């Protein structure tokens, strides 16, 4: 009975998302609808004037005004209709580019790139740009946030061809809706951390991410001519990655979290088939982009703000309560090259729950497979025991990813989350590790 009720709830949730997705697309095209409504009102007004022509004995100027109103509405409506049809029926041709990897980029300083070669042939490789020194300093950083309320705007070429880009949006299914998101505008490099510079965050949205970072993996042609090449214009120029302060993409900030349960297990999940990112792949126990919430505009440190959102994603996707998340620390930061520089914070967390108590909420079935994937690697709650488990998990993920017949494609974000967690925890003293594990031992 419970399964039946859950399936009904899931069907309703899917319907709600589709309705919301259609409505949000209409909002983006609202000026077309508004102009159309005004033109229709002019036509109706003119017709009403004709109908009442004799009954109210309209004067000649009033008759002329009524006719002019009708004629103007008819002409403008016709122009709007053909403009919309022309925009939609133009020969648009988005050509997908190869995803960026280490060989495509010239590195500077202590930055590193890790290529994660996928076992399936869908994409080929996922790569991340990161700095190991930055990863070790984030948990103790003191950077404050500067809030920018002016919303990020998409490229002018997209605005001029909006019906096509909205109605044929790349990387979005019918259930995708335009939730408010957070754009990161400051490069989180070693100097930024050491000098305690302010980090600028700006309002953006999910559609704006699809129309920038996702679209940057395509060259869009219109009637045979190049219309848009966001990658070379806004992200990778002369093999150099543009810093977040110079990039013209949405660069919405996200977080991923690796989860240790109280029964000595490391829990991770499998992305659902309707997820727009890492579809069907093994992924961290909590991951997603930051929503604009009540914390927007508050006086808060960047690391604390990231932890709030990382914990929210963990609670939503692993169905945890606030009090069940004991420790949560930042273990890394990187920019996804396969997402054209999208920034991501990585965390490691502990919970009082046992692995068998972790379950996926019905509202998350679109994004997460109902099956929980876990590995029993932690032999003891000690530094050596945890590091041994993480090393074994890295090896397990590498072996899994090299065997496509297992049909458990491992996402880059999961591998990097484990890698960064291992490096971060290995730098802790025994006493610091004791504090981190306190509450679940």
- Reported as a single tens digit per residue, the pLDDT across 377-404 is 888 899 999 999 999 999 988 887 766 5
Query: What pLDDT, on a 0 to 100 scale, did the predictor assign at position 52?
Result: 58
Q: Domain residue spans in the chain?
A: 2-89, 95-152+252-437
Which residue stretches of the chain have pLDDT < 70? 1-10, 12-14, 34-60, 62-67, 69-74, 76-77, 80-89, 119-123, 174, 272-279, 361-376, 402-408, 441
Residue 70: per-residue pLDDT: 64
- Say which residue the tokens 């660069």 belong to: 251
Residue with tokens 């488990």: 389
* pLDDT per position as a tens digit, 75-126: 766 776 666 666 666 788 999 999 999 999 998 777 898 888 775 545 578 9
Residue 38 CB burial class (10 angstroms; 0-12, 13-18, ≥19): middle
The pLDDT value recorded for residue 282 is 85
The confidence score (pLDDT) of residue 18 equals 78
Judge contact between 134 and 333, C-beta under 8 A.
yes
Tokens of 289: 């982009």
Which tokens go with 374? 């876990």
Which phi and psi (to 5°) does residue 281 adopt? Answer: -100, 155
Single out the residue of 439, 412, 438, 429 nearest to residue 113, CA to CA: 412
Tokens of 1: 């009975």
Phi-psi region of 299 (alpha: psi -120 to 50; beta: other; left: phi over 0): beta
| CATH architecture group of domain 95-152+252-437 | Alpha-Beta Complex (3.90)
- What is the per-residue pLDDT for 121? 46
pLDDT at 17: 72
CA distance 84 to 81: 5
> Do the Cβ atoms of 180 and 294 come closer than 8 Å?
no
Quote the CA–CA distance of 354 and 376 in Å, as a whole number.
12
Helix %, strand %, coil % for the chain, to 5?
45, 20, 35
Whole-number Å distance between alpha carbons of 284 and 268: 5
């Amino acid at each position: 009975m419970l399964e039946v009720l859950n399936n009904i709830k899931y069907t309703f949730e899917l319907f709600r998302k589709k309705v919301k997705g259609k409505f949000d697309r209409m909002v983006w095209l609202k000026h077309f609808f508004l102009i159309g409504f005004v033109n229709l009102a002019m036509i109706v007004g003119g017709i009403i004037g004709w109908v009442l022509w004799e009954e109210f004995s309209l004067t000649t100027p009033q008759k002329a005004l009524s006719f002019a109103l009708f004629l103007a509405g008819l002409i403008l409506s016709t122009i709007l209709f053909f403009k919309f049809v022309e925009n939609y029926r133009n020969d648009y041709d988005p050509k997908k580019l190869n995803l960026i990897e280490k060989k495509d980029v010239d590195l500077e300083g202590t930055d590193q790139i890790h290529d994660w070669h996928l076992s399936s042939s869908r994409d080929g490789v996922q790569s991340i740009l990161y700095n190991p020194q930055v990863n070790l300093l984030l948990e103790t950083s003191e950077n404050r946030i500067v809030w920018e309320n002016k919303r990020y705007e998409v490229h002018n070429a997209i605005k001029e061809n909006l019906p096509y880009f909205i109605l044929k949006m790349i990387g979005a299914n019918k259930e995708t809706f335009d939730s408010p998101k957070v754009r990161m505008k400051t490069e989180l490099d070693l100097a930024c951390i050491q000098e305690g510079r302010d980090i600028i965050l700006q309002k953006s949205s999910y559609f704006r991410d699809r129309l920038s970072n996702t679209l940057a993996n395509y060259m869009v042609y219109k009637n045979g001519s190049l219309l848009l090449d966001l990658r070379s214009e806004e992200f990778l120029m002369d093999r150099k990655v543009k810093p977040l302060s110079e990039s013209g993409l949405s660069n919405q900030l996200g977080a991923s979290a690796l989860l240790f349960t109280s029964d000595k297990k490391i829990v991770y999940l499998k992305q659902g088939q309707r997820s727009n990112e890492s579809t069907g792949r093994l992924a961290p126990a909590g991951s997603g982009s930051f929503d604009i919430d009540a914390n927007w505009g508050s006086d808060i440190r960047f690391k604390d703000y990231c932890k709030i959102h990382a914990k929210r994603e963990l609670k939503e996707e692993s169905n945890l309560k606030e009090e069940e998340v004991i420790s949560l620390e930042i273990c890394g930061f990187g920019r996804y090259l396969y997402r054209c520089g999208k920034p991501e914070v990585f965390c490691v967390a502990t919970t009082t729950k046992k692995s068998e108590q972790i379950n996926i909420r019905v509202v998350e079935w679109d994004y997460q497979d109902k099956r929980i994937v876990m590995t029993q690697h932690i032999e003891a709650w000690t530094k050596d025991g945890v590091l041994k488990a993480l090393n074994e998990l890295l090896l397990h993920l590498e072996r899994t990813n090299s065997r496509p017949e297992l049909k458990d494609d491992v996402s880059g974000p999961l591998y990097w989350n484990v890698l960064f967690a291992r490096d971060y925890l290995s730098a802790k003293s025994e006493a610091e590790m004791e504090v981190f594990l306190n509450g679940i031992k």
